[in-house]
Structure 1
Amino acid sequence: MSDQVRSFCEIKEFGKFLEKCLNQKVLDYTLKSLTKPGDNYGSIMQSVDVEVIGESDTEESEILHLVSKTAVTNPYLIEIFQPAFTFVKETHFYSDIIPAIEIFETMKNVPKTDRIDAFIPCPGSRISLNPDASCADADAVLLLENIKFQNYVNEDRHIGFDTETTMAILKTLAQFHAHCIAIRRMQPELFDAKISPYLKAVNLCPDDNDTKLVDGLCNELKFVDDLDPEFRIAIEEQLKICDKFGRDTTRTADTPYTTIVHRDLWTNNIMIKKDDIDVSVIKVKIYDFQLYFYQTFVCDLIFFLLTSVRSNDLTKHFKLFIRQYHLEFVNTMKLVNCPCDDYTFDKMWNEIKEKSKLELYHSLFMIKVVAVDESETPLSLDDVTPDTFLTDESPSKAILNRWKCILAIFKDNGLI
């Protein structure tokens, strides 16, 4: 064990925490950084290889592969991600919301083969060394299984998901959204006890710096060629509306389409696994539930498609992806015997047309994060400042091309 790791163990009592979560005697462990520059700004991720003693004295020790997630310390990122609040939200996602979904599936006699399998197992968490703490502090830790050892991988964020993988992810996303809506409609007591208390939104635009970001984005859009002047004005006006939407923490009113929205569903928060024999069989895991809130399903669906699917696939198959999501959503509703009158394709498409524009700023700005090239801009978490994503220069060709793709999707489908 290195001095750095040993220091972490002594200060944070990490070894004791591991034993409590795993309910096994820990002989040793090692920590290594998991993230590269530009991969993650909202938390610090480390792999944890833990050697635990066997259940009996005669058994050999074994190595468990985990991931440790701790809060960022950069003051600017703390202001954005508000880990004192969001870290607690994430622990409740694993301790309360996932079990509520599992309880509901059992109550509705959903066959095990059809149950949602979208979440990474979580052995345990803590928000502080203080047992009476209600807010997370610097000692907060979330443990997850390291599913890379089960051959789950992240796609390259610079490339994105192909059509086949996108269809698999949309199935998982639709299952998740549909389950949460069905619980609210069919088991309101379960929803109110185990889900509703944790759905408060986070203000993602905590100060005037984010107004500067909106203004900066509007300025950068001048480098996008061949934009119709009236459409450009409509975009800029909508970006300012999106800024207000990002600041609003008011609980949205119930509609047939309000559900748990991940709010940060992009390439780096999704892992996939292709079957060794049949590569068309794709398993999907979603993680990083720091920012989830209560809103229309459209926010997740549109943000995912616009930020994470390959441009050619997105342009060619956008409406097909919408239909895939709708199909899997309705299939899930039927599986749990939830009424489907509100979920015809036309009704859900109207919801998409009405609400997609709420994700315009989020999606355009996120492309600046997705396209960060660590070889040219080696950003560490400590390097990020309010001016990191502000520039008077033309964005890179990769960013401009993706922006053109996104804006064409909005225009061609009447989303703005």
Structure 2
Amino acid sequence: MSEYDIKNLEELLASHLHREIVDKKITRLTAPGENYGSLMLKVDLTVKNGDRTEEIHAAAKCVPPNEAIQKMFNTQVTFRNEIAWYTIIIPTIQRFLRENNVRFSANFFTELYGARISLNKDSATVDEDGVILFENLTKSGYRNDDRHIGFDLSTAREVLKAFAVFHAVPAAMRLKQPELFDNNIRPHLHTVEFFNKEEFPLSLGFLKFLETDAVVKHLAEKVKTAIDRCKPFGTDDVQDIWGTTTHNDSWINNIMVRDKSEPKVKIVDLQAVSLGSPAADLVFCLITSVNTAVLEKHFDELIQFYYDQFIYVIKEVGVDYQQFPYDSFARELNAHGPAQFAHCVNFLCGILADKGDTQNDPVKKDYNLEEHMKALGEIFTERHQERFRFLIKEFARRNWI
């Protein structure tokens, strides 16, 4: 008997296909430490289609059993909003692109098979039977790159091309069809507050490194001041033309890659999307997810590459690109880059942590967030040192700390 189960699977799949399930196997999809805000399951089904049987390979995003994680990720809001992304927002984006006869596609989303917040159709509460079922991308050859290594240059460019579409299309829609944006997209965006200095104090390992490392210790006070003045992630006001959908969790494990020689990417985990600045996603993605040696040589080039892709999309959908000059984007980077410092510091401690930590598994009911953060904070490897040196020096160079 499997440790995991999903109730009423045939009913959940009914909107996608009408098949009788003759066999199923449900196992854990992601290893402990590779996913925090949900329980991810691998769902392999044998279904009857007329006189023959066929295989369906799916991935299920389930409500995390641990109440602390539910609270931290605001599951009652974020789970519902992620369902809206697949059922309302993505179809709206695809239709908008077709109507504007563009020469590109937003093909970096995952296909939905079915979703619910509860078995009770009349319930407005997300409960333990909430599930989002989509295609298992690993069966199509998609994988997560190694979070300890980060994206190479060619993969980083493909990732930025995808995020340029993710950001630019809703930005264009706000200008070209504001009513469509306000009706179909804005209601499903929310303020993200993942960082709280009291809940996530600076790790002991990071503090020791900051105060003793010969390369960055002269910047220690600047670093502490920068973190102290940071607001919770995703709470920056959006008042100008750059306001759009921001992923807010654009790190390497939420981006899947296929065909490394000619990379293709998928963007997953849409639970934390809010209205914000694309500059915030860009900085966070580069710092947390691209190889350090690549960043040292190509950081400015990648920023320019992203901007050029953003402008290409804006032009394609028929919006005046002159409303988005580069000097305005540079101001966006300077306005929102500094706020990403604490975001990056906080996440990199976990991203660079050793793999396979079964003692601190966020999906377990007895998971203790405080103990896990303390454990992460006491570990500071050479990987951490290399990445944090770059982070601190780069933010200092740009006067972001």
* TM, length-normalised to structure 2: 0.92
| 1:142-196 alpha-carbon deviations (Å, 9 max, x no partner) | 0110111111111011111001100111111111100010011101111011100
User: What secondary structure, in the 3-state scheme, does the structure 2 residue paired with 1:36 have?
Assistant: coil
User: What secondary structure, in the 3-state scheme, does the structure 2 residue paired with 1:62 have?
Assistant: strand
| 1:68-101 alpha-carbon deviations (Å, 9 max, x no partner) | 1101122321221121211001101111110111
* TM, length-normalised to structure 1: 0.89
Q: CA deviation at 1:109?
A: 1.5
How many residues are aligned here? 397
- Counterpart in the other structure of 1:202: 192
2:165 and 2:378 map into 1 onto residues whose CA distance is 42
1:88·1:135 contact (CA, 8 Å) conserved in 2? no
2:205·2:380 contact (CA, 8 Å) conserved in 1? no
How do residues 169-248 of structure 1 correspond to structure 2 at under 5 angstroms?
169-205=159-195, 208-210=198-200, 212-213=201-202, 221-227=210-216, 229=218, 231-242=219-230, 244-246=231-233, 248=235
2:215 and 2:119 map into 1 onto residues whose CA distance is 56
The answer to whether residue 298 in structure 2 is matched with residue 317 in structure 1 is yes
Unmatched 5+ stretches in structure 2:
none
Identical-residue share of aligned pairs (%):
30
1:259·1:296 contact (CA, 8 Å) conserved in 2? yes
- Counterpart in the other structure of 1:347: 328
How do residues 287-326 of structure 1 correspond to structure 2 at under 5 angstroms?
287-326=268-307
- Counterpart in the other structure of 2:66: 74
2:254·2:268 contact (CA, 8 Å) conserved in 1? yes
1:207 and 1:238 map into 2 onto residues whose CA distance is 12
Name the CA shift for 1:267/1:394 in 2 (closer, same or farther; >3 Å): closer
- Counterpart in the other structure of 1:40: 35
Q: CA deviation at 1:247?
A: 8.1
Q: CA deviation at 1:21?
A: 4.3
Letter in 1 for 2:79: F
- Counterpart in the other structure of 1:84: 76
2:33·2:356 contact (CA, 8 Å) conserved in 1? no
Q: CA deviation at 1:328?
A: 0.4
Q: CA deviation at 1:387?
A: 3.0
The answer to whether residue 389 in structure 2 is matched with residue 404 in structure 1 is yes
Letter in 1 for 2:177: Q
Unmatched 5+ stretches in structure 1:
none
Q: CA deviation at 1:294?
A: 0.8
Task: Give 1 or 2: higher helix fraction.
Answer: 1
1:375 and 1:44 map into 2 onto residues whose CA distance is 16
Name the CA shift for 1:377/1:64 in 2 (closer, same or farther; >3 Å): closer
| 1:37-65 alpha-carbon deviations (Å, 9 max, x no partner) | 210111111111111221xx33x110011
How do residues 17-36 of structure 1 correspond to structure 2 at under 5 angstroms?
17-36=12-31
2:27 and 2:191 map into 1 onto residues whose CA distance is 32
- Which deviates the most, 61-70 or 348-357? 348-357
Letter in 1 for 2:250: L
